[in-house]
Every structure is written in C-alpha cells, then in structure tokens.
Amino acid sequence: MPSDNPFRQPLRRKDVLFKTTVRQANADGKDAGGNTDFAISNDYLWIAFYFSVPLAWIRDIEPLGPGFVVTWENRLENREESAAFCILRSGWGYNTKKRDDLVRRLRDAAGKAGAGPVSAQIAAAPGMTTCQLCGALSPRVFDFSWFTSFLAFAISIPDRRVLCLPHAASRLRAVTVYNLIIGNLGFGMFVSPIVSLGNILQVRRTGAITKPETAFWTALVFWPYLLMATLVGWSIWYAITF
C-alpha cells in the first residue's frame, strides 16, 4: 500500500506541528531557485509536499554556507542521503537567523524521535520487501520528477516510489507523457527535457525498459531542443540567403 512507503506519507495539516517554506539550495548552501514545503510532525519531516523522511532516520542537521543541510539514512537501501536548503530575506540576501531557528527546531524534533520508540509503520519500513502497488517481491526505490511549466512559472515535484520493475516502467511512461505536455507550456521547456531524461535513465539502469524504448522516449522528450535548433538554423539560413 502507498501508506507503507516512509518517503511518501501524506502531509496533513492536522498532524503537522510546524510548517514553513524554504528554498532548495546547492552544495554551497546557496539558492538553487525553487521553493519547497518544509514541515515537521512527531514522526516525519517533509522536505517537499510529496517527500517525507522519518525523523528517527535523520543523522545530521548542519549549517551549510548561508543555508543548511539535512542528512538521513535511507534504510530501505542502506545508504545515506542529504538535501540542502536556504531561506531568503524578503529583500536581499539570506535570512540566517531564521535558518538557525529552523535548524534548532529540527534538531530538537529529530532528537526526540530518535530517543523515543518509533511508530510501527517506521519500524517496519526497512523490511519493506514488496512493491507498494502489487506486492511483488524485490522492489526498488525510484525517484521520479513531475515537471510543470506555464509561462514563467515552473515547478518540479518529487515522487519517490517503492516499485517492481513493471510498475516502475508504467510510472515512467505516465510521468514522461505528463512532462511532455504540461512541462513545456512555458519557459520551463528549456529544463523539461533534462528532468525527463533523468527519469528515463534511472529506470533504464534497472532494466525496467528496453534500449529501443529508452531511445524512443529520449528522442521524444528532447523535441523542444530540436525545435529551437531548427529555428536557429532557419534564422541563420534566412540571414545568409536574404
């Protein structure tokens, strides 16, 4: 069931103790250009509306330049992961005071969660050995990105799923078609092909889709670049000819 996935718990207002909005940051802790939800409950941290992390799995919360970085254990795959964020002032620069307050709040929440008994759901998560959709054995963790772009607005929404290979392939096709249509309705069309390519290559590496299908989707998602190259070529030809 989807609710068994610790990385995709519903963000319900009634369960949240604290919620704000932060900016995604790069490896230097500086603004990387995207707002994201940031919320804390008794058991989970949300680093995006659709991406939750068990507080008991968090190992470190540290300042990173003007921002901060959160590091946690991915106990489904036995590896460490991290994400960086920052907080901008309403005017110019970074709000490090609010950053420090948020770091303290998160450290307190993670400390309490790590010291006390975890929920049965989180305790059982490392033993999650079946696809969350069909119950097939030996699933994998997949990180898809849904990309929406309209005029100057653009947003990428993470979608972490625990899936068998057939369901991973199905999910990829649905996400790719969405990105092809909704991700190219604005200036985001310059980014949409790269987002889709990341989805495609991730699934291809597991063998869930064939090489011909990989080539088909890759060629299809890069149509905005082909269009731009065609327009540039036509403009050069027109300038030289006339």
- In tens, the pLDDT along 51-80 reads 999 999 999 999 999 999 999 999 988 999
13 versus 147: the higher-pLDDT residue is: 147
Model confidence band, residue 173 (pLDDT cutoffs 50, 70, 90): very high
Q: Which two tokens stand for residue 73?
A: 């254990």
Q: Name the least confident of 71-80, 152-161, 163-172.
A: 152-161
Task: Give the predicted TM-score (pTM) of the model.
Answer: 0.81
pLDDT at 238: 67
pLDDT at 148: 93
Question: In the predicted model, is pLDDT for residue 96 greater than 80?
Answer: yes
161 versus 127: the higher-pLDDT residue is: 161
200 versus 232: the higher-pLDDT residue is: 200
Q: Are 101 and 151 spatial neighbours (Cβ–Cβ below 8 Å)?
A: no
pLDDT at 45: 97
> Rounded mean pLDDT of 131-135?
89
Three-class SS string for the chain? Answer: CHHHCCCCCCCCHHHCCEEEEEEEECCCCCEEEEEEEEEECCCEEEEECCEEEEHHHEEEEEEECCEEEEEEEECCCCEEEEEEEECECCCCCECHHHHHHHHHHHHHHHHHHHHCCCCHHHHHHHHCCECCCCCCECCEEEEEEEEEEEECEEEEEEEEEEECHHHHHHHHHHHHHHHHHHCCEEHHHHCHHHHHHHHHHHHHHCCCCCHHHHHHHHHHHCHHHHHHHHHHHHHHHHHHHC
pLDDT at 200: 97
Question: In the predicted model, is pLDDT for residue 158 greater than 80?
Answer: yes
DSSP type of residue 110: H
pLDDT at 152: 85
pLDDT at 189: 87
> Rounded mean pLDDT of 189-210?
94
Model confidence band, residue 2 (pLDDT cutoffs 50, 70, 90): very low
